[in-house]
Amino acid sequence: MLEESRSRTRLLEVHGRTVQLMESGEGEPLLYLHSAYGENLWMPFHDKLAERFHLIAPAHPGFARTTGSEEISSMEDLAFHYVDLLDHLKLEAVNLAGTSLGGWIAAEFATRYPQRVKKLILGAPAGLWLDAHPMTDMFAALNSAEKLRQMNFHEADSLLAQMLIPDEASDEEKAEAYKGMAVTARLFWNPFGHNPKLAARLRRISSPTLILWGDDDQLIPNVYAAEWARQLNDARVIVIKDCGHLMMFEGENDFVAAITDFLG
């Protein structure tokens, strides 16, 4: 984690909700929307992105100390939540990045408010569905750390994977994970992992888009990268070698380098 003098976490009051916000760095604003893993502690990839950008990393409602999850039942609700946050921060348009769940939120936001997104980065996002390549049901593995590591990492037995998804967790960590998964399940469950209307709406996104995927993603197969690129107006795809779903950890250097180069 960064030293306190270099990064900060603050709580904002936005239309009756408390929003936990991490931020650091100078330069072009980059709004990062986290995955269902809930990367709401300052991580090395945050640190590296903040070397080049003013990184803004809020917690979704129901994650960390952000409240208002009882009001969130759809991606529409989250899109409104984040436009309210940008208004509160007095940011008219930003570069927007999201991974997995966060990538889905970022894409939904960009279809509704394309003028507020300069460039878009989608890291292995949920949101689309291919019958021939169904997503893995992560909820079925919640009681098995080993299965979760296999879904999310290329090297499931690595020290990194075991640190991020340990076999044993404290009661506090379990409670925190349960909160986040409860919100994720509400968004993912019916229909599972996608919005049937999203594909037809992606043409509304006007910003250049970078699609990142691990070459060994066992949660959302990387064949989805081509489908996202096909539906978007201006997209490029980068596949990160020897990397699973949580690319911001396992493929950290390539993940940061691709974003930095794309935003230029």
Tens digit of pLDDT for each residue in 189-206?
A: 889 999 999 999 999 999
Host domain of residue 106: 8-137+180-263
155 contact partners, CB below 8 Å, separation of at least 6 = 161, 242, 244, 250
- 157 within domain boundaries: no
- 149 within domain boundaries: no
Tens digit of pLDDT for each residue in 127-151?
A: 999 999 999 999 999 989 999 999 9
Band of the pLDDT at 177, cuts 50, 70, 90? confident
Q: Are 195 and 103 in contact (CB under 8 A)?
A: no
The span from the CA of 7 to the CA of 138, in Å, is: 32
- 54 within domain boundaries: yes
Domain count within the chain: 1
- 73 within domain boundaries: yes
- 153 within domain boundaries: no
Tens digit of pLDDT for each residue in 24-83?
A: 999 999 999 999 999 999 999 999 999 999 999 999 999 999 999 999 999 999 999 999
Q: What percent of the chain has pLDDT over 90?
A: 90
- CATH number, domain of 249, equals 3.40.50.1820
What's residue 6's pLDDT?
A: 60
